Amino acid sequence: MRICLTNGCEIENCEELVSEFYEKDAHGLYDRLEVPHNNELDLVSLASLAFFERQNPELAHWRTLEKMKPIIEEKLGAIPPSVSITDSEIPWNELTDLFGKFLAVDGFACARVSKILHKKRPHLIPILDRARVINAYYKPIVEQTIEEMHSKTDLPLAFLKQYALNLPIVMTALVKAIRTDILANRSVLEQIQGRLTKEGVLLSLVRIFDIILWEYAGREAK
């Protein structure tokens, strides 16, 4: 099975890539961690970072997050858990607001925010890993979005580039780009999802796509 990205990249042997991910990566613990799909930034969702991060946020950052929790949870509540990236209607403005409030907490940039929020809204929010995935496949989306923002604001282009992945508008643009690729490869992803389900591995299409890109990027980097 293969998927084709809008940037022209073709990824072969997708099932094999998913299998390899679970054979060698502890991230499988992240996927098996049961997190309620409610509107609360509960401890179990925050603890999900432990399966990814070598160095977690500083204590001061956690304390700031605790203060910001009610605001972030209010924004999270504006996005129903049932919303899927394959839906025709997606609350994009609400998603941008959610990213914005979470990114306002020091120590929680794009990757960490998306890792936590994916567990709360697994059918909508992908993991946005900059070094491994975004720079490899979606960097043009980031650059285009920054250019558009620059044309509409007085902020210097260098400033926008420096803080690109801390910008909620950029994160939403990335989700939209990933949505386009998921829709284009939906049939293949659903076949893989069906086989995984039979094996007792329950993953959203968003997460399956994440894993394929992650593993393929790792191969290409060698």
pLDDT of res. 135: 85
pLDDT-based confidence at 25, cuts 50/70/90?
low
Question: Percent of the chain at pLDDT above 90?
Answer: 71
pLDDT digits (tens, 9 = 90+) for 148-164: 999 988 888 888 888 88
Arithmetic mean of pLDDT, 79-102: 97
**What mean pLDDT comes out for the span 116-145?**
92
Q: What angle do CA 159, 164, 168 make, to 5 degrees?
A: 120
Burial of 84 (0-12, 13-18, 19+ CB in 10 A): middle
* Amino acid at residue number 51: F
Q: Tell me if residue 3 falls in helix, strand or coil.
A: strand
* Length reported for the chain: 222
Phi, psi of 5 (to 5 degrees): -90, 160
**Would you say 216 and 208 are in contact if contact means Cβ atoms under 8 Å apart?**
no
Q: Predicted confidence band at 40 (pLDDT cuts at 50, 70, 90)?
A: very high
Q: In the structure, what pLDDT confidence band is assigned to residue 141 with cuts at 50, 70 and 90?
A: very high
pLDDT tens digits for range 156-194: 888 888 888 889 999 999 999 999 999 999 999 999 999
What is the rounded average pLDDT of the residues 111-119? Answer: 95
Domain boundaries, the chain: 3-221
| pLDDT exceeds 80 at position 108 | yes
Which one-letter amino acid corresponds to residue 126? P
Q: State the average pLDDT for the chain.
A: 92
Q: What is the pLDDT of residue 21?
A: 86
